[in-house]
A and B are shown apart, each in its own frame.
Chain A
């Protein structure tokens, strides 16, 4: 079967760095997405990785290792507004997205 695993909840301190991991087992691979979702709102696109390595975009970076079925989202200089759920999704061989349940990130002052 297809499976995406990510931690249910994480807590970090304002100004710090946090890494949210995602492991996957899917039927084929056509890229991995990270989305941010604030409570009661729609998911918004953060990043896309299709090749191995690190993609950096401001305070957010996303890493992919296809051989290990592993990705992480790195958030630097955490701000209170980063409190949200972070969703990992893999695009399978049919170009459909398989979603993880999301990681709720709590930022403390």
Chain B
């Protein structure tokens, strides 16, 4: 019953490293999203994509980039990790039409030291 998977549950990186977070969905969904979740704050949208090779900035894109080379895969890249990027990262997908609920992956808890 696999739906949305993320490459790592826990990740520890050093300041300045380039970090790749991978997300794969097997539901043939058009839309994919990257959020970060921090205590006391709602989920914040980093980037999203409505189609292959298409990307749109969300509310907090600074310090991040994304790649969507295949429909099922959406990668989040931290070009030079910083301590303020320590967070829980959640990937989600949704179908093109209908109720735009999100199916979420299990999350990656990233710690930058």
Contacts and interface: CB of A to CB of B under 8 A. Distances in A.
B106 A95 contact: no
Contacts of B45: 96-97
- Interface residue range, chain A: 20 to 34
A67 B112 CA distance: 44
A95 B100 contact: yes
A33 interface: yes
Contacts of B101: 33, 45, 48
B2 interface: no
Interface stretch (B11-19, B35-43, B62-70, B73-81): B35-43
12 contacts: A4-B42, A40-B107, A43-B90, A45-B101, A45-B103, A95-B100, A96-B45, A96-B48, A96-B58, A101-B40, A101-B42, A102-B42
Interface of A: 4, 8, 30-31, 33, 40-45, 48, 87, 89, 91, 95-102
